[in-house]
Amino acid sequence: MLSKPSQRAAGVVVLLLCLGGLLVWFGSLAANPAVGAYPGGDELGTNYDAHLDEQVVVGGGVIETEPLTIAVEYGVDESIELHLVDENTQLEATHGDHVTLFGTAKPDQTVIVEHAYAVPGEQYLYMYLVSFSGGLWVLTRITRTWRFDWDTWSLIPDDENSVTRGDDA
Amino acid sequence: MPDLLSHALIAYSLATIASWRYDWITRSYVTAAMAGAFIPDMAKAALVVPSARVEQFIGLPFDWFGLHTLGAAVCSVLIGVVLVSQHERRRAGLLLSLGASSHLLADALLRKPTGLSYPLLWPLSRVYPPTPGLYLSTDICPAVVLSIVTVAVWSVDKRRAST
């Protein structure tokens, strides 16, 4: 089954279409707090007042500390500023931190915080760099341990070509 | 879990330990598990092309995060299965699945402000299960701990290979 190049290509196209369909379907899902899908930046940015007194989950960079204000990005290069009122969590955030929070939307783009945490901006840089190196490691290993066979148009293990197993973890 | 390196380290360690029991798990298959761990993070394409931009382009709702779910992981693993030669399919499918599921499970333990993780079983279920909140994606600790574990696994593996 699916052993000829044309069948293989058709199989991949069908699966890619399925994948695309799943992403469209996932994107069409509306917020549903009953399962844990609270309104987020996109919902608040598009129409904040429609979500007054609802519980929301948002994240954004701190642009002001008195009062604590974050800029939440949504849509295509748009952002909404939210003022955070934090009575319980003693959130300590400085300019440039990224705050993620769960709270209740109140008038005047003010959110009463229930749970929140702040992460310094540099930590994100760390995450991106480390993830990039992880990605490179995996890609290098793929090219070194698998090869494309032009006769069958398939990927086949290339263990003979590589050094003994586990040699370059 | 956190960063992609940690996910790759988990997949490497799990597949290498499995190779001690199953001889057919060669270096290539350990790589397959690591590639599987890569799958859910294809959702990070959103950093390059935001979902809203894709929506604008195709005129339909769209969310890259759908890639970070069971349904998309199964589809992606099947793409890998179709791409390898017929004799390798069962094995490649197993290792790709091992990697992808270790990623989804490790991410289900991430700290969230709601105390709920993410709909990992979608489209079977859209429920966000509770998370113990062990770490953040930006924490350094997981990569450090997992690097130590991986070095231990790697050295045991090397010793076994030389005997």
What was the pLDDT predicted at A160?
Answer: 65
Q: Locate tokens 């130590």: which residue? A: B148
- Average pLDDT of chain A is 90
- What pairs with residue A57 in β-bridges? A102
Cis omega (within 30 of 0) for bond into B61 = no
Task: Say if the Cβ atoms of B75 and A116 lie within 8 Å.
Answer: no
Interface of B with A in 91-110 (CB under 8 A): none
Q: Which residues of A touch B136 (CB under 8 A)?
A: 117, 119
Mean pLDDT of B76-102: 95
Nearest chain B residue to A136 by CA: give it: B5
**Which of B26, B83, B126 is facing A155, going by the closest CB pair?**
B83
Q: In the 8-state DSSP scheme, what is residue B103?
A: H
What was the pLDDT predicted at A23?
Answer: 97
Q: Which residues of B touch A101 (CB under 8 A)?
A: 113
Q: Which residues of A touch B84 (CB under 8 A)?
A: 154-156
Q: Is A165's Cβ below 8 Å from some Cβ in B?
A: yes
Q: Which residues of B touch A149 (CB under 8 A)?
A: 85
Q: Locate tokens 């899908």: which residue? A: A37
Q: Encode burial over B101-114: b for 16+ CB neighbours within 10 A, e otherwise.
A: bbbbebbbebbbbb
Checking if the pLDDT of A167 tops 70, the result is no
Nearest chain A residue to B59 by CA: give it: A24
Summarised one tens digit per residue, pLDDT across range A113-134 is 999 999 998 999 999 999 999 9
* Residue pair B56/A76 in contact by the 8 Å Cβ criterion: yes
Task: Say if the Cβ atoms of A23 and B84 lie within 8 Å.
Answer: no
Q: Is A150's Cβ below 8 Å from some Cβ in B?
A: no
Calpha distance B103→B4 (Å, rounded): 9
The residues near B46 (Cβ < 8 Å, ≥ 6 apart) are B64, B65
Q: Which residues of B touch A4 (CB under 8 A)?
A: none
Summarised one tens digit per residue, pLDDT across range A50-104 is 999 999 999 999 999 988 999 999 988 899 999 999 887 778 889 999 999 999 9
Q: In the 8-state DSSP scheme, what is residue A148?
A: E
3-state secondary structure of B101: helix
B135: alpha, beta or left? (left if phi > 0; alpha if psi -120 to 50): beta
Question: ipTM score here?
Answer: 0.93
Q: Assign A14 a pLDDT band (cuts: 50, 70, 90).
A: very high
pTM to 2 decimal places? 0.92
